[in-house]
Amino acid sequence: MTREILISEVGPRDGLQSIKTIMPTPAKKAWITALAASGLREIEVGSFVPPHLLPQLADTAEIVAHALTIPHLTVAVLVPNRHGAEAAIKAGAHKLTIPFSASETHSLKNVRRTHAQMLDEVRSIVALLRALPANRRPKFEGGMSTAFGCTYEGDVPADKVVRLAQELREAGCDEVGLSDSVGYANPAQIRDLVVRVRDVVGRDAFAGLHLHNTRGLGLANVVAGLEVGVEIFDSSMAGIGGCPFAPGATGNIVTEDLVFMLESMGLHTGVDLTKLFEARKILAAAVPTEELYGYVPAAGLPLGYRASAAGAR
């Protein structure tokens, strides 16, 4: 089992996009600073979508500019299309992720594009990126949403996900990740699909798992991912977030609980839980009417808890 795990914090994007409250820009900046100060090395700080669609993320360019001032932080953003990618490149983001729904029904509802149209969009962004000097070229991930099932289509066959992952790589994505956008995944499915997708995209090009806790299996699915060597997990502080286009989907897995679990297992996340709880206070103060989740923040740390040291006691 791998010992170093990268947690990619998606709260400022996936979390904030799906709550009603619009977090003020200064609060976002303070929150992101606190998240990075806790030891999180990658944060998805926003999304370059039209402001009328997601007013919560209208300040993404300014947020990226702020995040870029934080040393050693990978600044990631979501881009739904070429237009968004242009804005992300202009802002200087280190990493761009384009959501690509394995379920074509979900793709049509989410971004109004078929798979073929989305692959064209991907190729167009890749052309844009390849025209940049190598040292200014952000990394480009295809984030395969509804990879484990879809609220419109139900089952999404693994064969289809594997084929689409290959097509995303062939279209020029540097990495492909798998998202359980609607909380349908189970641990057996995680193991199977991760192994198969990694086989076709290549081990170094697997961007990890983006899991939701809709049916309470989020951390169980992380354990299954760890079993097959996954080293990158997305999560959201306080589990805020979800997908406004996927009915029934609640929040991402909770960063605080994820860090606790991994560190308890003796895995290294680089994240200091005490500092993470400080960042949670900033979030709580900035969105006081929103529900915050998380078991460890509620129950507290076990007596005698030691980060990265407990493991198998």
Q: Which residues contact a copy of itself (rule: CB under 8 A)?
A: 149-158, 182-184, 186-189, 191-193, 213-217, 219-220, 222-224, 226-227, 248, 250, 254, 257, 260-261, 264-266, 294-296, 299-300, 302-304, 310-313
Of 150, 193, 243, 287, the catalytic one is: 243
Q: CA–CA distance from 152 to each of 20, 102, 182, 247 (Å)?
A: 24, 12, 10, 9
Are 63 and 29 in contact by the 8 Å Cβ rule? The answer is: yes
Q: How far apart are CA 167 and CA 100, in angstroms?
A: 11
DSSP string for 155-179: ---HHHHHHHHHHHHHTT-SEEEEE
Instruction: Work out whether strand 139-145 and strand 206-211 pair parallel, antiparallel, or are unpaired.
Output: unpaired
Cα–Cα dist 303/310, whole Å: 12
Contact 228, 194 (CB under 8 A): yes
Concerning whether 150 is annotated as a catalytic residue, the answer is: no
Identify which of residues 27 and 158 has a Cβ nearer to a copy of itself in the complex: 158
Active site residues per annotation:
243
